[in-house]
Amino acid sequence: MTTNQKTIAYIQDLFESKKFIPLHEPCFRGNEKKYLNDTIDSTFVSSIGAYVDTFELMMQNITNTKKAVAVVNGTAGIQVALRLVGVKTGNEVLTQALTFIATANAIAYNNAHPVFLDVDRDTMGLSTVAVRNFLEEYGDLRQDGCYNKKTGNKIAACLPMHTFGFPVRIDELVEICSAWNIPVVEDAAESLGSELKGKPTGSFGQLGVFSFNGNKVVTCGGGGAIVSNTLALGEKAKYLTTTAKQPHPYEYYHDEMGYNFRMPNLNAALACAQLENLDSFLENKRILAKSYQTFFDGENIKFRTELPETKANYWLMCVEMENREQRDLFLKETNASGVMTRPIWQLMYKLPMYKDCIRDEQLNAEFLEDRIVNIPSSVR
């Protein structure tokens, strides 16, 4: 048998299926139906309800932050978080090209410009070296912030992403950006339950944003959360995402442009039930990751594991191929056999809407784009 054939057979045995095996399907084995029925019985199925409040408190506790705000999805959360740290029209935001499209789109929704810097090969997240080098060459620290010497635009934020739940070197990025007076927003969409040096992802930057899309470790169909250790920022996030309406018993008065980005109580009920099982989900995924690591060690394919001082949630597990040709053959043969695998994302600057953005050489990002493949990672 070839390595690909052995891999297909192994995954089929792991998931006890010879038919279709999805990349990451949701697992509902707790109080999901009960809590959904509660919302229906209460008639509070929209954006006001007890489960929204409970969900926000649970997220505060999980992320060890002072304020959590439930939102309709992670993309909307990043959009608002960037606005909260001061990103305005024409500003630049340092981020990575090796990411899901939402990261770049959230910057564009603020009429700002992504600056795509390289990633580290080991974390697959924004490189501290790339950020430092860019700022030393182009950064101009002024009284009101950091500017790009070449473009004259303000560098208003840094937006790293914890790729597939593997923590980026977020503590070092915050330190570098702090020296240049650049606020950091964490795209923690994929990293619920991940930690760096014992501290949850999402809690390092001024704000962090999580996603609860249908393919995440914890899902409520859609949904997202903004978290912050700065209470004022968290409260402003709640205000802006609930249409910027001033509290009043019956009058409707909105004193700035807000967003209808509220999470419905129905979704929050589902999220609460899922969060109750977060620890068991994470433990189950760690067991799966260990099984994969043992198998691939014997097949001479590199299985990606967490780094020292980190704890990954192993949202989407991945392997690294020797080259693009091997990657493409693996993708073709696994998917043809009903084992869902996916390549890492196309780099953002290769997409038509971001082709003219500032970027560096992207040596590591292009290396990973040619080699990384996600494999089935569901909670079993």
Instruction: Tell me, yes or no, whether 134 and 67 share the same domain.
Output: yes
* SS3 category, 198: coil
Domain count, the chain: 2
The confidence score (pLDDT) of residue 38 equals 94
- The rounded distance, in Å, linking the Cα atoms of 66 and 181 is 23
CB 173 within 8 A of CB 196: no
- pTM for this one? 0.96
Which residues make beta-bridge pairs with 93? 114, 157
What CATH number has the domain bearing residue 368?
A: 3.90.1150.10
Residue 328 corresponds to which tokens in the numbers above? 């493409």
Instruction: Tell me, yes or no, whether 180 and 263 share the same domain.
Output: yes
CB 159 within 8 A of CB 93: yes
The confidence score (pLDDT) of residue 17 equals 87
Contacts of 44 (CB under 8 A, 6+ apart): 50, 265
**Residues composing the chain:** 380
* 184 CB burial (10 A radius; 0-12, 13-18, 19+): buried
Instruction: Tell me, yes or no, whether 38 and 130 share the same domain.
Output: yes
Domain that holds residue 367: 3-23+278-349+358-374
Instruction: Tell me, yes or no, whether 103 and 223 share the same domain.
Output: yes
The confidence score (pLDDT) of residue 299 equals 85
The confidence score (pLDDT) of residue 247 equals 87
CB 112 within 8 A of CB 82: yes
Cα angle 166, 169, 170 (rounded to 5 degrees) comes to 100
Q: Indicate the DSSP class of residue 254.
A: B
Answer yes or no: is 144 within a domain: yes
Residue 212 corresponds to which tokens in the numbers above? 């609860």
User: Which residues in the chain come in under a pLDDT of 70?
Assistant: none
Answer yes or no: is 299 within a domain: yes
Answer yes or no: is 380 within a domain: no
Encode pLDDT of 113-155 as tens digits.
Answer: 999 999 999 999 999 999 999 999 999 999 999 999 999 999 9
Determine the residue type at 177: C
The confidence score (pLDDT) of residue 44 equals 87
Among residues 276, 305, 322, which one ends one of the domains?
A: 276
Name the residue among 27, 4, 105 with its Cα closest to residue 288. 27
Among residues 247, 276, 305, which one ends one of the domains?
A: 276
Answer yes or no: is 248 within a domain: yes
What CATH number has the domain bearing residue 154?
A: 3.40.640.10
Instruction: Tell me, yes or no, whether 48 and 15 share the same domain.
Output: no
C-alpha separations of 301 from 201, 210, 307, 319 in Å: 28, 31, 18, 7
Encode pLDDT of 169-199 as tens digits.
Answer: 999 999 999 999 999 999 999 999 999 999 9
Among residues 276, 309, 324, which one ends one of the domains?
A: 276
Answer yes or no: is 221 within a domain: yes
Instruction: Tell me, yes or no, whether 128 and 230 share the same domain.
Output: yes
Instruction: Tell me, yes or no, whether 15 and 64 share the same domain.
Output: no
